[in-house]
Amino acid sequence: MAESKAPQMQATLGLTGLTSNAMALIAPGAFLWLTFFIQATTGVAGQPSTSPAMWMGIFAALLLCLATAVAYAEISKLYPGTGSSYYYAEQAMLSKDASFKYARIAKFVVGWGSHLYYWVYPGVMVAVTGVFVGYVVGFLFPTFLSGSNPGPLFMALVAVVFSFFVAWIASKGAGASTAVNLAINVIQISALVLFSVLALGYRASHPAGATGPTTFQYDAQSQATYTYQFATAKDGTTMRDASGIPMPLLDKTGKPTAFVMDYPTTDATGNLLTHPNAASVVGIHKISYVFIQATVAILILVGFESVTAMGGEAKNPTKHIPIAVIASLLIQGLFCYLFEYFAANYFLNSGYTMQSATGSAAPIGDMMIIVGDALLGQGNGKWFMLAEAFTVFLALIGTTLACMNTGARVTYAMGKDDEAPEHFGMLHDKSLSPRRAIWTLAVISAAIGVVAVSLVFADASAPTDATIAALPHGIFSTFGYLPHDTLAKLPNSLLTITLTSNFGTFILYALSCFLCMVAYHKRPDHNFLLHTLIPGFGLLANLICMAFYLIGPFFNLGTKMEPLSALGISGVWGLYGAFYFIKSSKKKGKAMLMDKAAVTQ
């Protein structure tokens, strides 16, 4: 038998290894590319998008995460061990006479709730990997697949293969995972900074009214840049030649009319086109927009807490884990995300607007082609995009790997504790990794990924019937696409799964903030700022974001179908958890409320 309960995790990770694992899960190099599309399309079909507040939404989510990170850092000093918040819940409740009897219920609620995050999040990652690969393949082989609108079947196949590939790496153990994540972090941050600098430089060197050899208008169908204005038909569609290249608008002399750079604010329906200045990028615009964007942006910031699940593999957990939690969030969130999202939003122009971004599977890839053409010469930007795309793929491996590692270890802790099926609490005798939990998570992630890409272009991102008709013919390209009006009425599957994962995150983070307050209550080392005020703010902020899922739709604040669907999924998971806990307790003869006298005997 390869599996056994005998092997134990080994303490092999130092501060660098712990921080690298957390940074890999936050992964700004991947998420800028992958979630810009989701954030750009968040809203209701036919109504103005919430995208003007994209940067501020990230900032609001960052404040929430920083408060939660402080709670994690502080409680990890008291209870180093494997299991993260699941382990903290039991220890915090056991340390107080008033809450002692609720320790088992508390840890199960935290552990079960955290799985809504840790089991769904990898599914989101394999789904966006399918979208990403579809974009790149469509760019390289446009007659096989559309880069802007890849086929759902193709994306689903990629999601399944990628899920098992990452699980294979995770099964090799923490040492192999850490080495991969460290290299990925260096590469992705370097690539990220390079793109951001080029994007800012492009905006600075192309003021309104500019023309010339590097003033480009981007065409999504041909995925190329042009220096002339496009000729349009009476219905407003772009006129094209036999090869699909946009035809130029001719002037009175019969020559192509040069494209003129401009920065229009909105279109006729009120949707954002570009930001006229830097202040607009960081502006609030509408409070409701900020809340809506924050509920999506939480996806790109989570992960700092992942190292708390690796307490059993840390050399000095009480010292290094708190530092790794805070450092990973400050580096990736405060610096990388705020810088890169500012650059990408400030870059938007009349040649590539926010509405252009809503019609593309990879807006950042499009932007990279534009700045690459400006840097390397027209037609050569594709090489810059492909090089950056390679770093994004590496970052995708890193973030999915880190989340699978964390999720599997929480499942392992519950299995070892006999709160989940017993076989989850086993380690492989050679790699010392919870392989059964990892491979189970791989299957779940693959299934969720398939669902997430099935209607990725529904609701506000529904392509026009003309766009659908222009897709390459073939099962991998067109299967799964419905008419525009039908897609516009359906929930966006990727956004729905993303919000489900985020709801699980809010549950976990709110409970963790509460546990920090409980753990330090009446302790001699209690600090009001660190152990009451900051965790209290984190608890309140997480609860408000959770409430917005329900309140927002009824007040017509943003999209309706996706958050309500996410609430439904979360509710079903919670009810099943309660059923499982009660049934399992009766079957195993375990009391739901703990008896202190029995425990201390």
Reduce the DSSP state of residue 500 to 3 states and report it.
Answer: helix
pLDDT recorded at residue 375: 94
Query: What values do phi and psi take at 360, rounded to 5?
Result: -125, 145
Helix axis angle for 493-520 and 435-454, nearest 10°, is 140
The answer to whether 519 touches 88, Cβ cutoff 8 Å, is yes
**Residue in the block written with tokens 């036919």:** 46
Burial of 280 (0-12, 13-18, 19+ CB in 10 A): middle
Q: What number of H helices and E strands is found in the chain?
A: 24, 4
Helix H, strand E, coil C: the string for 100-128 is: HHHHHHHHHHHHHHHHHHHCCHHHHHHHH
Q: Identity (one letter) of the amino acid at 120?
A: V
From the first residue on, what is the mean pLDDT of each consecutive set of 10 residues in the chain (601 residues)? 48 75 72 84 73 95 93 88 77 87 90 89 92 90 88 95 91 63 77 93 96 94 93 88 91 93 93 95 93 87 79 77 90 90 97 91 92 95 92 83 80 79 66 77 94 89 86 89 90 91 91 93 93 95 86 70 91 94 90 66 44
DSSP assignment of 65-96, as one string?
HHHHHHHHHHHHHH--STTTHHHHHHHHHHT-
CA angle 501, 504, 510 (to 5 degrees): 140
**Which residues have CB under 8 Å from 306's CB, separation 6+?**
21, 22, 25, 84, 402, 403, 405, 406
Reduce the DSSP state of residue 218 to 3 states and report it.
Answer: strand
Sign of CA dihedral 357, 360, 364, 368: negative
Residue 256, beta-bridge partner list: 250
The CA distance from 263 to 274, in Å, is 6
CATH fold of the domain at 3-204+283-600:
Amino acid/polyamine transporter I (1.20.1740)
- If one counts every other C-beta atom within 10 angstroms of the C-beta of residue 465, the result is 13
Take residue 538 and report the two structure tokens written for it: 């984190």
Burial of 517 (0-12, 13-18, 19+ CB in 10 A): buried
Determine if residue 314 is left, alpha or beta; phi over 0 gives left, psi from -120 to 50 gives alpha, anything else beta.
beta
* Helix, strand and coil percent figures for the chain, each rounded to 5: 65, 5, 30
The CA distance from 559 to 555, in Å, is 10
The CA distance from 311 to 13, in Å, is 9
The CA distance from 274 to 48, in Å, is 13
**Residue in the block written with tokens 């990652």:** 125
The answer to whether 495 touches 559, Cβ cutoff 8 Å, is yes
- If one counts every other C-beta atom within 10 angstroms of the C-beta of residue 161, the result is 16
Helix H, strand E, coil C: the string for 426-488 is: CEECCCCCCHHHHHHHHHHHHHHHHHHHHCCCCHHHCCCHHHHHCCCCCHHHHCCCCCHHHHH
- If one counts every other C-beta atom within 10 angstroms of the C-beta of residue 601, the result is 6
Take residue 397 and report the two structure tokens written for it: 């491996």
pLDDT recorded at residue 268: 87
Q: How far is CA 142 from CA 33, 150, 371, 388, 481, in A?
A: 20, 10, 21, 19, 17
The answer to whether 63 touches 340, Cβ cutoff 8 Å, is no
- Give pLDDT tens digits for 444-463: 999 999 999 999 888 877 88
Q: Which of 495, 513, 511 is nearest to 561 (CA)?
A: 495
Take residue 365 and report the two structure tokens written for it: 């890839």
Take residue 174 and report the two structure tokens written for it: 């923490």
The answer to whether 339 touches 345, Cβ cutoff 8 Å, is no
